[in-house]
Structure 1
Amino acid sequence: MSGASGAAVPGAAASGTGASGSAPVPAVPAAGAPTPAAPDQALERWRLVLGAPAEQWTGPLGPAAAAQDAALDWLYGRDEDLARRGVRRTPPPTREGGDGPSQLTAVDWLEDVHRLFPRETIERLERDAVERYGIEEIVTDPTVLERVEPSATLLRAVLRTKHLMDERLLTLARRIVEAVVRQLLERLRPELRQALTGTRSARPGTRRLARDFDFRRTVRANLGRYQPAERRILIERPHFHSRTRRHLEQWQLILLVDQSGSMVGSVIHSAVTAACLWGLPGLKTHLIAFDTAVVDLTADVTDPVELLMRVQLGGGTDIARAVDYAAGLVENPRRTIVAVISDFYEGGDRYRLVRAVRALVEQGSTVLGLAALDEEAAPAYDRDLAAQLARVGAHMGAMTPGMLATFVAERLGR
């Protein structure tokens, strides 16, 4: 063999002429020689978004981004549409036997995504894993349930799969339910109660009424004008409370919640909303769940965790039967709000439902049809039936719990 110099090793200067037949020896970079460039983070992000075909333009991934790509491939590699477009390069994991390397499990994958991605991305990946690809191991594997961070996505998954769980799994799943419900209660209770009852603030009011006189604040503000000889304070500026608390007469709020699988987010927020409103002065709250049967859950409203663990998602939908049940609870029609929370894909008698809603409206009740009651208020519903209900006097829409509380408060304030 000739003694021509060997090929240069990437990232190193070419070696000198080697001995005949010998392999080229990589040279040590000379002082001041440029070091290999670090991967461009912007290009790496585009590569992660666009998939393997983009690598010819973005270049190879660094170690950290490659680990992220592997985690993304484990999940989105099972997407047939993406596979046809060549966006992902790793086939979905199989359950076949063999002597190859062990497959990544849901537990391993969860640990990887919690290590590799920010919280917002983790929540999206977990949501897609459970809701888009049906990876039920995330909520039916005790190892996962012991380690996973509670989230609204996992709560929805627990409610959908709890019928598959044994006692040990149900105990672990309850931890997720309790944690998420506690977060929702802490966030929603002040908002809902303030919307319905108002507050009593300490700032000066514009209407100076004797019943709103703020004695303590007035004394503190005028202590400098105390007259020892006369043992009295000269009040230069009295202070008053600003009262915005509404006087509530007795009203009924009847929440009818469709417990079909597509309404799981609304079921959760209905349970929490009912718990927040329970015991408010002047408001009597009922919570009714329905599919083809009707279950009155009012007795469990004060414990939304237990209530959600009792809910059975799925089955058919008979909205008319639920509305008939609500009509039987009405005490004073003109002080009653019946909120039907459903996608309005009626499996029962549509004409019977329209007649029942018309009867409630004609006797003076307020009927509210909600295609969604959750934080996103993004509905998917039968628009034709919703239009029919609107024509007989129902108020149709989609709301967050706060918007529902404001709607109720407006009616109570009449």
Structure 2
Amino acid sequence: MSSEDTLRRWRLILGRYAAQPLSRARFTAGDWRFDEALEYLYGREYEGRGLSRSGGGSSLDLSQLHAVDWLARSRKLFPREVFERMQSQAIERYGMTDLLRDPEVLNSLDASPALAKALLTLRGRLSADMRNAVREVIRKTVDEITRTLRKDFVNALVGRRNRMRRSFLKSAQNFDARATIAANLKNYDATRRRLVIDRPLFNARIKRNLPWDIVLCVDQSGSMMDSILYSAVIAGIMSSLPAVRVKLVIFDTSVVDLSHLASDPVEVLLTVQLGGGTDIGRAARYCESLITNPRRTVFALISDFEEGASPGALLGAIQRMAEARVKLLGLAALDETANPVYDRQMAQRLADKGMHIAALTPAHFAQWLAEVMD
């Protein structure tokens, strides 16, 4: 990369406060379009530090670049992943709530988990005429996540592989590599040193007939927005599956039973009230009261395990459920990156009482459920 290219890149990174302002002769027209879009958003970082936007060497008149224009230009300039990140940062980090005052503008935004989380956090400050637009963005986000995750839960929870019976359903997940090799050894080509697969074999799946109860107990404190979003979607997916009964409970210092909404993740998300303290023990005791068939019940606690109340009630409820043979799962994270941030000491105390603790993506959670229900 030439020194000129390096200089141009640093100018785009540093913005108008770069030590060596660039003239229009040094920047191409495309460079200036990038610069305008980046400056409109990230120039706010300097404002937050007490620096004026009037400084630097750029002649950009920011008043001429409004939020709607910025959205339209940025969508064309940047790759989708970059634009979605900029869009969410505009709302979450830089407080550009002017993007959320016009339903038409909101409908023009690209639905994404980041935008959905921002809207759910801010919805108490939105005008009444924005509710339908917010609901539509949430619905689009939920639909996209559902399309991504549904096959994992269907494959994991509807049936398990039956190695005694072959299937005509030729999917990679049902492929039986060992049996296929054994059945095709006669086709081995010694000259080319290759095994020719004439007849691949696939395992059939058998449906689970005995029902399972799954109790999702979800922390709705402010730090758990990712987990709430994916928990609502997972509850909706599992509610549609045969032989699975879902109970959905959310909590902070209070406990709210949303089992009647479990099949509608959009309504669940619009019902959740983020914030407040955390009383996990109270929620665990309530969920314990919902259990009627302990040996065919999974209790999944989705939390950062930051207990705000005395831990005795929580540990007691977990121990009683463990003694009753309830399958106990503790999820420290439930987002697509599975970045674990939780109270490890409390997690260890829960594990000592019989709860299995993990930090998992939603897809891995599906497999984990299948394993404990097998």
TM bucket (normalised to shorter chain) is 0.7 to 0.9
Structure 2 residue aligned with 1:297: 258
Q: How many Å apart are 1:64 and its aligned residue? A: 1.8
Q: Please, what TM-score do these two structures have when normalized by structure 2?
A: 0.79
Q: Which residue of 1 aligns with 2:123?
A: 162
Report the CA distance between 1:77 and its aligned residue: 2.2
More helix by share: 2
CA RMSD of aligned residues (A): 3.3
Determine the structure 1 residue equivalent to 2:353: 392
Measure how far apart 1:257 and its partner are: 0.9
SS of residue paired to 1:380: coil
| Higher alpha-carbon deviation: 333-342 or 322-331 | 333-342
Q: Structure 2 CA distance, aligned partners of 1:189 and 1:288? A: 21
> Is this contact kept in 2: 1:78–1:91, CA < 8 A?
no
Q: Which residue of 1 aligns with 2:32?
A: 66
* Aligned-partner Cα distance in 2 for 1:118–1:240: 41
Q: Which residue of 1 aligns with 2:13?
A: 49
Larger displacement relative to structure 2 (190-199 or 317-326): 190-199
Shift in CA distance, 130/45, structure 1 to aligned 2, threshold 3 Å: same
Q: Is the 8 A contact 2:47 2:53 kept in 1?
A: no
The TM-score with structure 1 as length reference comes to 0.72
**Counterpart residue number, 1:79:** 45
Deviation per CA, 1:180-230, whole angstroms, max 9, x where unpaired? 11111111111211122247543598999xxxxxxxxxxxxxxxxxxxxxx
Report what 2:73 is aligned to: 112
What letter matches 2:348 in structure 1? A
Give the secondary-structure state (helix, strand or coil) at the position aligned to 2:339.
coil
Q: Which entry has the higher C-alpha Rg, 1 or 2?
A: 1
What is the one-letter code of the residue matched to 2:203? Answer: S
Distance 2:296 2:100 in 1: 43
Please give the residue correspondences for 1:81-230 in structure 2 after superposition, counting only pairs within 5 Å.
90=53, 102=63, 104-196=65-157, 197-198=159-160, 201-202=168-169
Q: Percent identity?
A: 39
Q: Verify: 1:252 aligned to 2:213, yes or no.
A: yes
1:131 Cα deviation from its structure 2 partner: 2.6
Counterpart amino acid of residue 74 in structure 1: Y
What CA distance in whole angstroms lies between the structure 2 residues aligned with 1:201 and 1:137? 55
Aligned to 1:226: none
The structure-2 alpha-carbon separation of the partners of 1:240 and 1:47, relative to structure 1 and needing over 3 Å to count, comes to: closer
Between 1:191-200 and 1:151-160, the stretch displaced more is 191-200
- Per the alignment, residue 230 of structure 2 pairs with 269
What are the Cα deviations for residues 64-110 of structure 1, in whole angstroms up to 9, with x where unaligned? Answer: 222222322222223259969xxx98479xxxxxxx97374433332
CA distance, structure 2, for counterparts of residue 127 and residue 377 of structure 1: 19
Deviation sequence 1:32-84 (CA, Å, 0-9, x none): xxxxxxx9656533432344536479994222222222322222223259969
SS in 2 for 1:75: helix
Deviations 1:349-403 (A, max 9, x none): 2222122222221221122111211211112222222222122221112111211
Tell me, what secondary structure is at the counterpart of 1:78? helix
The alpha-carbon deviation at position 321 of structure 1 amounts to 1.0
Aligned residues: 337
Runs (5+) with no aligned partner, structure 2: 56-60, 162-166, 180-198
Letter in 2 for 1:301: A
- Give secondary structure in 1 for the equivalent of 2:274: coil
Change over 3 Å in CA distance of 1:384–1:106 after alignment to 2: farther
Paired residue type of 1:44: R
Counterpart Cα distance in 2 of 1:307 and 1:149: 21
